[in-house]
Amino acid sequence: MKRLLLYICVCTALTMPLSPVHSQQSAATPPVSALVQTARVGERLVADTLRAFGTIEPGPRQLKVIAAPRASEVQLDVVAGVRVKRGAPLVTLMPTPDAAVAYAQAKSQAGYARSALRRTRALFQEHLATRNQVAAAEKALLDAQANLAAQRQMGGGHATVMRAPADGVITAVAVTSGARVAANTTLLTLAEQGNLYARLGVDPERAPAVRIGMPVTLRTVFDPRITLQARVNQVGGMVAPVSGLVNVLVPLTGKAAADFLPGSQVTAEIALSSSRSLAVPRSAVLRDAQGAYVFIVKDHVAHRVQVHAGTDDGTWIAVRGDLHAGEQVVTLGNYELRNGMAVREQAP
């Protein structure tokens, strides 16, 4: 009898409904939600850009070659890479021993010819010399003076200082101090200040899309915050043998050009085309087997929307689909979302 009563009590306990306290705890459990950041969908100008890399170089007309006007011994006053002002000393040319001897001989001959002319004229006054002898002495003096002037111009009698013809940067030095060089030997190269170019390298398959006049945004590698707006000036017609790329030249103009030093590396974004359309941040667009899509937040719920992704400028993507300006698109946390999932928006 006791066993029967115990069995009835156990069955009754198992069939009783849950207590009100347990039911309230289950109802209080919040639904699963994701923390996301959003941005507003809007119209904007989106450009199809081509990224390139390059180097800042002086313009073709800005390079000045400094050459020795005569055979000399070189004493350099500058090194490669330094800035110089107009009139600053660059190279001191010392006369070679041969030039010094030739100058001394020319000076001696000019002195002797001058004395000979005075003696001949004195003899002529005493009727001891003819007019032809006076004329010959005058010609000898003129020849000696011409030879002396030539030797002086060639620097045989003194050192010559060659100075900078303009403000600029010494880009190359071809000789060393103490070297003896022949006439017309290149000593150094000066890049005049201003009129710099960015020489960019573009993949050959993308080069046909680049046109003269296209906008270009240049950034220095050492500080991407330094930018300059310019335009394409020339597009190369061949592939460079060393880099395997097509050269694109972009002149630097304006005050910002002073921040770009010759020889420095730059990145460039060439705007191939642009259009005004609905655009979303690049991070908002996801892709799977069905194509591109975004998540739109309405009433704290994420809704998947299929889109056609168009022009991508690296920051914004032009999109077409069931989107409207002003809607909130998920930009961060969208990889965890599912269609219809509850979300909590976080301020960016």
Domains and CATH numbers, the chain: 33-46+276-345 (2.40.420.20), 50-59+194-275 (2.40.30.170), 63-96+157-192 (2.40.50.100), 97-153 (1.10.287)
Please compute Rg for the chain using Cα positions.
43
Residue 26 Rama label (left phi>0; alpha psi -120 to 50; beta):
alpha
Residue 329 predicted with pLDDT over 90 = yes
Q: Which residues contact 221 (CB under 8 A, 6 or more apart)?
A: 264, 265, 266, 267
Of 84, 250, 61, nearest to 171 (Cα)? 84
Share of the chain above pLDDT 90, in %: 42
pLDDT at 23: 44
Q: What is the pLDDT of residues 233-290, one digit of tens each?
A: 999 989 999 889 999 999 998 777 878 888 889 999 998 887 788 999 999 999 999 9
Could you tell me which residues are beta bridge partners of residue 343?
Answer: 34
Tell me the torsion sign for CA atoms 270, 273, 279, 283. Answer: negative
pTM beyond cutoff 0.75: no
Q: Can you tell me the distance from the alpha carbon of 196 to that of 194, in angstroms, rounded to the nearest whole number?
A: 6
Residue 181 predicted with pLDDT over 80 = yes
Q: Can you tell me the distance from the alpha carbon of 95 to that of 153, in angstroms, rounded to the nearest whole number?
A: 11
Q: Which residues contact 223 (CB under 8 A, 6 or more apart)?
A: none
Identify the three-state secondary structure at position 171: strand
Could you tell me which residues are beta bridge partners of residue 271?
Answer: 49
Could you tell me which residues are beta bridge partners of residue 249?
Answer: 199, 234
Return the residue matching tokens 């004329």. Answer: 135
For the chain, the residue count is 348
Q: Can you tell me the distance from the alpha carbon of 197 to that of 252, in angstroms, rounded to the nearest whole number?
A: 6
Per-residue pLDDT band at 304 (split at 50, 70, 90): very high
What phi and psi, each to the nearest 5 degrees, are found at residue 17? Answer: -70, 160
Per-residue pLDDT band at 291 (split at 50, 70, 90): very high
What phi and psi, each to the nearest 5 degrees, are found at residue 159? Answer: -80, 150
Q: Can you tell me the distance from the alpha carbon of 214 to that of 202, in angstroms, rounded to the nearest whole number?
A: 14
Q: Are 134 and 120 in contact (CB under 8 A)?
A: yes
Share of the chain above pLDDT 70, in %: 87
Q: Are 89 and 163 in contact (CB under 8 A)?
A: yes
What are the strands of the beta sheet with 89-95, ordered from one edge? 160-163, 89-95, 72-76, 180-181
pLDDT at 235: 93
DSSP 346: -
User: How many C-beta neighbours within 10 Å does residue 207 have?
Assistant: 20
Residue 8 predicted with pLDDT over 60 = no
83-84 and 168-173: which strand pairing? Answer: antiparallel
Q: What is the pLDDT of residues 56-114, one digit of tens each?
A: 988 878 888 999 887 888 899 999 988 999 999 999 988 876 666 676 777 788 888 88
Q: Which residues contact 337 (CB under 8 A, 6 or more apart)?
A: 34, 36, 295, 302, 304, 330, 343
Per-residue pLDDT band at 21 (split at 50, 70, 90): very low
Which of residues 159 and 307 earns the better pLDDT score?
Answer: 307
